[in-house]
Amino acid sequence: MKKRITSGWVLSFRSEEALHQAVIKLVKEEGVRWEVCAPYPCAAVRLASRHAGRAVGTGVRLWAVTGGLCGFLAVALWIYWTQFCADPLVTQGRVQGWDNWPAYVPPLFEGTLLGTGLLTAAGFLKGAVLPRWNDWAFECDFFRTDEHGDGYFILLEGGREGHSAALAAALQPEASEYIPAEGGRS
C-alpha cells in the first residue's frame, strides 16, 4: 500500500484543464510524491492513477456484483424464513411455500437492485481519490472552503526550499500554501 503524503504543498486549480496540464508536468518529474483531488474522476485523476499504478473504477464492478448477490441472498433468506421457519400460516386460502414462486420474483428483483445500488455507491466512494476527513490538507483554508477553484487540487510532498517549492510555483496554481509536517499554519 502506498504511503500517504503527510505534509507539503496544497495547490488549487480553477479548472479541470489547468489541473490536467499540471498533472502532465508532474508525471514527467522523477522522485516527487503527489496526489490529485477532484470532485469526480476526471482525465487528470485517471492519468495520475495510471501513473501511480492504480486504475480508477476497476473495483466498482466487483462491488456491484457482490451487492447484487448479497441483495438477492438477503431477500431469498427473508422469504425462506417467513415461509418455512417463522410459523407459516395459511392466509386467504393460499398455502405458503415455493409453489407461489411468481409472487417472490418482484421482491427478489428489487432486493438485487437495492444491494447492487448500495454497494456500487460504497465501492465508488471507497475507490474515489478523495481526501480523508482528517487529511493534513484540511489545515489549509482554501482547501476547506474552495474559494479559488472548483475543487481541483494537487497535494505535493516536499519542503519550502528546493525542488518541491520550485515545482509548486512552476505548475501555476490559482493558489498555493505550504503545510508543515506538524500541521498548522506556516
Same domain, 92 and 138: no
| Cell (9 digits) for 172 | 501555476
pLDDT digits (tens, 9 = 90+) for 55-93: 555 677 888 899 999 999 999 998 888 777 766 666 665
Same domain, 48 and 64: no
Question: What pLDDT score was predicted for residue 91?
Answer: 61
Same domain, 170 and 136: yes
State the Cα angle at 123 between 117 and 125, rounded to 5°. Answer: 105
C-alpha 175/C-alpha 57 separation (Å) is 29
What is the average per-residue pLDDT within 126-139?
Answer: 62
Determine the structural domain holding residue 48 and report its residue range.
8-56+129-179
Question: What pLDDT score was predicted for residue 165?
Answer: 81
Indicate yes or no: pTM above 0.85. Answer: no
Residue 89 within a domain: yes
